Amino acid sequence: MTAPPASPSPARAGLAASARLLWPFLAPHRAWLWAVALATPLGVAADALKPVLMQRAIDGPISAHDPAGAWWYAGAFAGAVVAHFLLSALGVYALQVAALRALAALRRGVFTHIMAQGQRFFDARTTGALMTRTTTDVEAISESLSQGLVRLVGDALLITSTLGVMLWMNAALTLVAFSVSPLLVWVVNLCRRKLRELYGALRDVQSDLNGRFAESIKGAAEVRRYGAEAQVEGRFDERSREFMRLYHRANWWDAGLYAIMDGLSSLSVGLALAYAAHRAGAPVGAGGAVSVGVLVAFIDALGRVYVPIREFSGRLASLQRAAAAAERLLELLGTRDEVPGGARRLEGAGAPTIRFEGVSFRYAPDAPLALRDVTFEVRPGEVVALVGATGSGKSTAARLLLRAYGGYDGEITLNDVPLRELDPREARRQLVAVHQDPQLFKATLAENIHLWDPALAAAPERVREAARRARASGFIESLAAGYESECASGGASLSVGQRQLITIARAFARPAPVVILDEATASVDALTERWIDEATAELFAERTVIVIAHRLSTIAKADRVVMLERGAVVAQGRHEELLRESAAYARLVGQGEG
């Protein structure tokens, strides 16, 4: 039996994940990356030159009391300092430019990817989790790119070059000082594994915390209404304590690594001094006594080596956070749940004929069928009412037509063109929806009507006319700033009825020939209900309307009624016909449900 290939180490896998994620966004900025690649090693070389100049100065002109020679070495040392500073500054600046541009593109790419997904994608994820992906995880990668990976490479070059200089100055002294390296490698490897494990768990808990926070904020009114504040706070506090516990453990390992590095640094200096004292009686030279210049330069070099090793814990923590974030972002970007669409367009003007032909659908593979072999037709200019008890499939049929979900059996066609083959822009041009639970944004009322459509934004008169026809102009114009009045997030500053009128205005503002209306007048006062009725009556008169009807008065005005029961069409026809011919429909109407 062939042995399976060895899996890469967690650190290598994390770096590979980060590279796969970032390279497409970094590639357009190769010039800046070349600047980093050139400036970093040159800066390290200038820094590594300083102990050599120090040793030569002490053992040469300073010991010989030669001021001119000492001044020459002092000037060369100052030049190395300046060169190191300038080259390091250039490398950091170039890296920041490339990193900021790449991360802006990454954040934009993640946002675009999320917004392109179908509703199933959002059903499976909380808002807080998606917020974590686009903010916290991208910031973790930003920190790694600007503070971790490249500086870690620079530190590795510095350690390597300084060790080379130390071996060149005195190999025996170097080997004695670094006799603690096996312990050093074991400690660093142990801490690396522990930190990676802890930061992965921290990301999961933080994502859950963000999700619970967003959920609690959105449902704050409902929580207060049922007096569940203590229970919600308890659930949040439980996860918050878990986050604190994990973070405490990560900090413990991080601080422990730093303390051990500090102790090993002091031990190396002590070993170097002990070796120099032991060889003090021998002649200066290879295998003999250590000169003062070599010892001073050597101790300075030890500090240069151990400073980046001490900082390695911070670099390592940054890389571990970035690796965990990169893997989660790769998983997110690798998840594709877009609703399929093609490139076909509809020919001719006017409203299309809409057909559901044997459509069956379930929300998840293990979920029951929400629609079962549904067949009905909506002809141009018709008002078709979808009726049925709660859970009968009315809203599901509307969602499929609006391309919120794909993956159904059967066919939905517009003028005999399958919806899944239709260009998504064409589908949006044909269909507009007025939802029962309208979504408003933190923007002006005018913006909430035109939703940043360039054509509508440039035609404020069309926005005002749409508001007038939706019966929303009265309350809008009574406000001090009128259409420029700021709307609170979610429309919290407006009543339920006012929010409904705004969404009806959206439909009037767009020339889409088909309107899908989820009728809702619950929690609306009598005057607002009359305004909504008048506005929807205008839509009925001039558009093709598919209405998810809840009231008998609306059902009676429809040209045809399609009744669904447990996801299947059980009756369709005119209201009066169905009352006579369908016992199920008569029973539904008699129960006051629509």
Structural domains of the chain ordered from first start: 10-334 (1.20.1560.10), 354-590 (3.40.50.300)
Residue labelled with tokens 């002490």: 58
The mean pLDDT value for 148-167 works out to 78
pLDDT above 90 as % of the chain: 25
pLDDT of residue 282: 59
In sequence order, the 6+-apart residues with CB closer than 8 A to the CB of 94 are 32, 33, 35, 36, 39
Nearest to 144 by CA among 155, 132, 152, 154: 152
pLDDT of residue 201: 83
Element (H, E) at 548: strand 544-548
pLDDT of residue 380: 93
Per-residue pLDDT reduced to its tens digit, 325-356: 887 888 888 888 888 888 888 887 788 999 99
Q: Is the pLDDT of residue 383 over 80?
A: yes
Per-residue pLDDT reduced to its tens digit, 397-441: 999 999 889 889 999 999 999 999 998 888 888 999 988 777 888
Q: Is the pLDDT of residue 55 over 60?
A: yes
pLDDT of residue 92: 82
Backbone angles phi, psi at 481, to 5 degrees: -95, 0
Q: Is the pLDDT of residue 146 over 70?
A: no
Structural contact between residues 100 and 179, judged by C-beta atoms closer than 8 angstroms: no
Nearest to 50 by CA among 82, 77, 87: 77
pLDDT of residue 594: 40
Q: What's the mean pLDDT when you consider all of the chain?
A: 83
Nearest to 571 by CA among 385, 439, 445: 385
Question: Which band of pLDDT confidence, cut at 50, 70 and 90, is reported for residue 301?
Answer: confident
Among the residue ranges 163-167, 414-418, 440-444, 543-547, the one predicted with the least confidence is 163-167
pLDDT of residue 229: 78
The mean pLDDT value for 133-144 works out to 78
Q: Report how far residue 161's alpha carbon sits from residue 47's, in angstroms, rounded to the nearest whole number.
A: 9
pLDDT of residue 514: 94
Q: Is the pLDDT of residue 587 over 60?
A: yes
pLDDT of residue 6: 40
Per-residue pLDDT reduced to its tens digit, 198-225: 877 887 787 778 777 777 777 776 777 7
Orientation angle between helical segments 150-169 and 30-57, nearest 10 degrees: 30
Tokens describing residue 46: 């200038």
- How big is the CA angle at 517 (ends 515 and 519), to the nearest 5 degrees? 160
Per-residue pLDDT reduced to its tens digit, 225-245: 777 778 878 888 888 888 888
In sequence order, the 6+-apart residues with CB closer than 8 A to the CB of 441 are 447, 448, 487, 489
Residue 382 gets the label, from left (phi > 0), alpha (psi -120 to 50) or beta, of: beta
Q: What is the pTM of this model?
A: 0.66
pLDDT of residue 138: 82
Q: Which residue has the higher pLDDT, 379 or 310?
A: 379
Per-residue pLDDT reduced to its tens digit, 492-534: 788 888 888 999 999 999 989 999 998 765 557 778 888 888 8
Question: Which band of pLDDT confidence, cut at 50, 70 and 90, is reported for residue 17?
Answer: low
The mean pLDDT value for 53-81 works out to 87
pLDDT of residue 505: 94
Question: Which band of pLDDT confidence, cut at 50, 70 and 90, is reported for residue 106?
Answer: confident
pLDDT of residue 427: 85
